[in-house]
Structure 1
C-alpha cells in the first residue's frame, strides 16, 4: 500500500513520469526547470521533477516539484484504476464528496491514528529533531521559485498548515504560503476568509500566541485534503485517511501537541505572536493567476521552535506557475466537482459535466447541461457564479450543451462561436473573489465582475444538427481500422 510520499514517487517512477535532476542551483535554476517541464503538453504533461545534489547542500536533501500535474499522476493520487478518464475522476470525486464516505459510522474517527511511544522506526519524521538554538530552516535547499521573487525563498508552497481551535479542539489543515525570514522565523500568508485566520484571531484576542505547525514534505492525500473546502469544524484529516484507505498515522508535536503525519518528510512547529506585537511583509511572489504579487504587509510571523525531518528529506514544492502550466492536480476535481455538486444542491437539473480551464480555479469555468426548459442555461450560469467553489477567483462561466466535451477547449470555443449571440452574454458585478486576482483594487474587500456566456442552442428553436457520426459507429470504425494503434 502507498503510505507516504516516497511510495507515491515509486508509483510515479513505475509509469515513467519521474525525472531526477542533479546539481541544480536553488536560486532560480530549480524554479526555471520546474516552469519549463510543467509547460510541456499545454500544462498537462511533463514528468514530476526530483532535484538532488543541489548546489550548496548535502546530497540527499531533495526538492520535488511538478508533482501532480498530469492525468496519470492525478489518477494515482485519487486512487483510481488505470484507464479512468479525467471527467470520470471529476464525476466520482464530486459523488464521493456528496456522500462523504470518509465520515461513515465505523470509519476512522478524525482520520488519524496516534502513534503510541513514537520512535524513528515507526515515525520517520523523528529521525532528525532540531530544537531551540539548533533550529535552522535554512538547512533545507529552499528555492527561489520565480524570476520576480527577488531573494524570497518560499519554504511553504506544497505545504500543509495545522492549527487547532482553542474552543473546540478542531484541527484544521490549510495551505498558506510561507517564506524564510531567518534561521528561526518564517512568514505565514494567511489570507482573509481562511479558517486558519479565524483560529489565529481566537488566540490573539485572548492575548496568547497561536500554536501552529507546517509540514512541507508529506503524502499526497494529506496535501490534497488540505486544499479542499470543507465546513468549519469538519476534519480534512478524515478526507486524507479516506483517500489513503486507512487513517493517517500521526505523532503529537513536541511543543504544540499538534498532530503531525508520522511519515512526513519535513515539519516545523512553533507559534504566531499577536500582530500587535510582531508582523512581517511577505512577497513579492508569483501566484496562481500567473502574475507576481507585490509585497503584502501586516502578516503574522511564525517563530519556529522545532524542526523535524527524515533522513534524506524531500521538500515538496508546489509553486504557482503561469498558465497553462499546472501546479496542482492535472484534473480539477476540487473546483469542477465542487461546482457540479453545488449546482445540483441549488436545484439546477441535468448538469452533465463541469471543467475548469487555464488553472485549477474557476477563472474559465465550463458547465454542460441537457436543456430541459427555457432559461435553463442562464440558471446554470448564474448558479455557477454563486457557488462557493465557483466564486473565489472566478471570471468567466460558459454554459454549453451536453454534446460538447467540456474538457476540450476547442469544442468549447466552437460552441461559443456558433451558438452564442452578443445578447447571450451577461455581466454580473461585485462578486466575492480572491485578493490575489491581479485586477482587484481593494485586497481587503476583494470583489470582481463575472462574464456568463450562454453557448447553448436556443431552447425549443430550430437549429442545425452538428456534423458527426454516431458514437457507436465511430467506435466500430475505430476498432475495424485499428485507429487506436496509430494514435487516432
Structure 2
C-alpha cells in the first residue's frame, strides 16, 4: 500500500480531518496537528500559507495504522513483540525491490530555476527551532560498507530555496556513511522521499540487519516488492510511489547548525553538511507528509518499533550470562521515559549481588549502533512478582522495596538538553534475600476460582 492509499482508507473510516481554511506553517499547523493526534485523527491541511501543496500529518499515528499501511489486519501488530516478529520474518525472507522506468513520483520534475524547497509546506514546529523542518522524509544514500542503499529518518532543515541539510545523529548510519565518503570526496548524492509507502517508515525506524537491505525488508513487510525509479540527477533509486522526492548533493565543505524540538521533549542541536538540491520530483497532485515534532504520539509510536527489537535483543543477551533473568521491558514514554528510556528487568535472584551484575551488563551492552548507556537513562531491577510492563507496578517496587542508599547508583553522563549534563540511574528494587519469605504480596484468588460473571 502507498501513502495515498492509506489516506483514502483513513478517510473512508472517518479518521481523516480535512481543514480547508488556510493555515500558517509556522506554529499553527503543528499546533492543530497536535490536537488532531489527541483525538486519534489524521489531518489534511488543504491550504498552507506560502506553499504550493497540501500537507497531512498523523497518518501513522497508531500501531493499527501501521498494520493497515502494510495491507494487513489492524490488530496485526498487537502485543509488545509484534514489531520484532514482523521484522524478523522480513529479514528471514527478504523481498528484492523492483526497478521500474517511471512512477507517480516523477510525474512532475523540477530542476534548475524551478527548484524552490521553500514552497513545500514544511512546518516550523516550536519557538526554539531554527528552521522549518522536513520530518517525514526518508533519507536514501549509498552505504559503502554494505553495498546497499541506507534508509533512515533524518531531520532536514530548509536553509533556502535550493539548500537543505540532512541531519545525522551520532549513532545513525548516515553519520557513519558521511564519515566514509568525506574521507574520499567533498560531495555525496542523497535523496529524501516524502510520503513513501508506510512499510518503508517501519523499516527506517528499525535496526539494520546484516546482509539484508532496508528496501528488501520493506518489501517483505508489505508482502510486495518496493518499486524503485532512478533519480533524475544521480544513480540513487527512490520509491516510485512516494509523493515527493528531493534529490540533492551533500557538500562536506560547509556545515550548518540547526535546532529542533525532539523526540525526548527537549531541543536537539545538530551540525551537519549542507546539501544543494538538484531536483524535486512529485506526483501531479502531491500531498506533503508531516510527522509532528517533540514527544508527540506519532513520533513516539515510531520509537516503539526500535524498542520492540532492542528489548528482545537485550533479554537474549542477559540470558546468555544469567539464568535468573526472567523478563525485560523498556519504557520509552513519559513519565517513565523521555529523552532516554527506562529498562526494567525482572529477576529470580538467589544472591544480593546479582542485581548489580545485571545492571553492569545492561549498560555495557551495545546493539549495533545503539549503546545501551546512551539509550537508557535508568535501569531498574525488580523481583519476578512485579509486572515489568506495568509502570505503576514498577513504581510500587521502587517505593516499597528499596532497602538502602547503596541500592541506588547515580553516574553523571551527557545530557539530551543542549550543553547539559544528566544522571544515569541504577536502582535495585528487589527484596533482600534474607527477607524474601516475609515479603510476599497479597493477592486475591484467581478468577477461575471465583468468577463474578457466575454471580450476576
- Specify the TM-score bucket, using the shorter chain as the normaliser: 0.7 to 0.9
Number of residue-to-residue matches in the alignment: 444
**Is 410-419 or 26-35 further displaced after alignment?**
410-419
Say yes or no: does 1:217 pair with 2:195: yes
**Is 242-251 or 8-17 further displaced after alignment?**
8-17
In structure 2, relative to structure 1, the CA distance for the partners of 1:470 and 1:91 (3 Å cut) is farther
Say yes or no: does 1:108 pair with 2:95: yes
Is residue 158–residue 217 contact of structure 1 (8 Å, CA) maintained in 2?
Answer: yes
Say yes or no: does 1:92 pair with 2:82: yes
In structure 2, the partner of 1:427 is 409
Say yes or no: does 1:279 pair with 2:255: yes
In structure 2, relative to structure 1, the CA distance for the partners of 1:425 and 1:320 (3 Å cut) is farther
In structure 1, the partner of 2:44 is 50
SS of the residue corresponding to residue 50 of structure 1 reads: strand
Out of 104, 113, 134, the position equivalent to 1:133 is 113
Out of 388, 397, 406, the position equivalent to 1:415 is 397
Q: If the length of structure 1 is used for normalisation, what is the TM-score?
A: 0.80
In structure 2, the partner of 1:444 is none
Is residue 371–residue 377 contact of structure 1 (8 Å, CA) maintained in 2?
Answer: no
| Alpha-carbon distance in structure 2 between the residues aligned to 1:49 and 1:160 | 20
Is residue 266–residue 339 contact of structure 2 (8 Å, CA) maintained in 1?
Answer: no
In structure 2, relative to structure 1, the CA distance for the partners of 1:243 and 1:361 (3 Å cut) is farther
Offset of residue 301 of structure 1: 0.7
In structure 1, the partner of 2:35 is 36
**Is 408-417 or 353-362 further displaced after alignment?**
353-362
**Alignment map for 1:116-265 (pairs within 5 Å):** 117-118=101-102, 123-149=103-129, 152-155=131-134, 157-166=135-144, 169-230=147-208, 234-265=212-243
Is residue 205–residue 305 contact of structure 2 (8 Å, CA) maintained in 1?
Answer: no
Offset of residue 369 of structure 1: 2.6
Out of 323, 337, 341, the position equivalent to 2:313 is 341
SS of the residue corresponding to residue 288 of structure 1 reads: coil
**Is 136-145 or 386-395 further displaced after alignment?**
386-395
In structure 1, the partner of 2:330 is 355
Q: If the length of structure 2 is used for normalisation, what is the TM-score?
A: 0.85
Structure 2: segments with no counterpart, 5+ residues:
none
**Is 460-469 or 75-84 further displaced after alignment?**
75-84
| Alpha-carbon distance in structure 2 between the residues aligned to 1:139 and 1:356 | 39
In structure 2, relative to structure 1, the CA distance for the partners of 1:326 and 1:466 (3 Å cut) is farther
Is residue 170–residue 233 contact of structure 1 (8 Å, CA) maintained in 2?
Answer: no
| Alpha-carbon distance in structure 2 between the residues aligned to 1:56 and 1:407 | 46
In structure 2, relative to structure 1, the CA distance for the partners of 1:417 and 1:439 (3 Å cut) is farther
